[in-house]
């Protein structure tokens, strides 16, 4: 477990370096997506604790609802209804 472990193509160290820009909305879309994918999947980032850990937790909370948008939720509900 180190800051140089790579998850979703970027390391924790790179995530830390980009976090300020991320919060300011200053990251390009692909960099933002990589950062979100990393934080969503990285055990290191969840374990850092402190202010950073809190930020990771908030980021994950914000990311979760987007994983299941209304359209996908409707498709899922329709498929579940079919199976019954
Ligand atoms: Zn990480």
Which distant-in-sequence residues (6+ apart) come within 8 Å of 2 by Cβ? 12, 44
Pairing of strands 6-7, 10-11: antiparallel
CA of 30 to the centre of ligand 1 (A): 17
CB contact at 8 A, 60 and 52:
no
CA of 79 to the centre of ligand 1 (A): 35
CA of 54 to the centre of ligand 1 (A): 13
* Any domain includes 1: no
Cα separation, 53 vs 76, whole angstroms: 32
CB contact at 8 A, 29 and 57:
no
Can you give the residue range of the structural domain that contains 25?
6-83
CA of 40 to the centre of ligand 1 (A): 9
Is the full-model pTM beyond 0.85? no
The tally of domains found in the chain comes to: 1
pLDDT in tens, 25-39: 899 999 999 998 998
CA of 73 to the centre of ligand 1 (A): 29
pLDDT in tens, 46-77: 787 676 777 778 878 877 655 556 777 778 77
* Any domain includes 72: yes
* Any domain includes 62: yes
């Amino acid at each position: 477990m180190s800051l140089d472990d790579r998850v979703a193509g970027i390391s924790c160290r790179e995530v830390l370096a980009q976090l300020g820009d991320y919060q300011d909305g200053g990251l390009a879309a692909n960099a933002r997506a990589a950062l979100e994918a990393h934080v969503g999947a990285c055990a290191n980032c969840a374990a850092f604790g402190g202010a950073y850990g809190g930020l990771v937790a908030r980021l994950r909370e914000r990311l979760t609802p987007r994983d299941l948008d209304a359209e996908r939720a409707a498709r899922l509900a329709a498929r579940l209804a079919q199976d019954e």
